[in-house]
Amino acid sequence: MINDAVINGVYELWLVDDDVIVGPGVLDRMRQAHADVVYGNFLTSCNWGGHPDLWPQVWMTHPYGFRGHPLHLEKLRSEQDLELEVKGGGACTLLRGRALRQARYAPLLEGLRSAGGMWCGEDRTFAMYCEVHEITQLAVVGQPIMHLHECDDLTEQQEKAVREYVGL
């Protein structure tokens, strides 16, 4: 998809997972960020390491780590409109500039193929490529984005809650 976009002269490519609901104005806000890779950050429910908390859909270290400044994770969980530099993301991504022209969703380091786990996957491979090539990745925090993780069919009440959350 990225190669086709470049060949066809596309200047931006917005990738959103099919289980992510994006509210009005999110793409405009992402476009305001000054980076070649911009992630729409949102909290998602995951049970990593036995912690059923909500976690940001972006990370600071590989694989899916948040080491660094202790307030960074707190800021990523904030509802404030913020921009934070991150080292990866994936479910709501705006690509442009060098990220669109040069980056590729392809194995970056052959040795990681056998590592398994969180090192595998196109979003992590892409994030590492950006890091190695010094392509800035920013997360836009505090936007109406919702992840319907493991939710095949919404009840009428759930659908109403989703519409209300994203402002529709």
Kindly tell me if the per-residue pLDDT of 128 is higher than 60: yes
pLDDT in tens, 86-95: 988 889 999 9
Do 135 and 87 meet the contact criterion of CB atoms below 8 Å apart? no
The mean-pLDDT minimum among 23-37, 78-92, 99-113, 147-161 falls in 99-113
Kindly tell me if the per-residue pLDDT of 37 is higher than 70: yes
Band of residue 143 on the pLDDT scale cut at 50, 70, 90: very high
> Of all helices (H) and strands (E), which one includes residue 146?
strand 145-147
Kindly tell me if the per-residue pLDDT of 141 is higher than 90: yes
CA 7 to each of CA 2, 100, 125: distance values in angstroms, whole numbers, following the listed order: 9, 11, 22
pLDDT in tens, 54-88: 778 888 776 566 666 667 778 888 889 999 999 88
Distance CA(56)–CA(142), nearest Å, equals 11
DSSP 51: B
User: 145 forms bridges with which residues in the sheet?
Assistant: 22
Task: Kindly tell me the burial class for residue 90, based on how many C-beta atoms sit within 10 Å of its own C-beta (0-12, 13-18, 19 or more).
Answer: middle
Distance CA(158)–CA(94), nearest Å, equals 28
Rounded to two decimals, the pTM is 0.79
Distance CA(49)–CA(29), nearest Å, equals 33
Band of residue 16 on the pLDDT scale cut at 50, 70, 90: very high
Do 168 and 24 meet the contact criterion of CB atoms below 8 Å apart? yes
Choose between 146 and 151: higher pLDDT. Answer: 146
Q: What are phi and psi of 6, to 5 degrees?
A: -65, -45
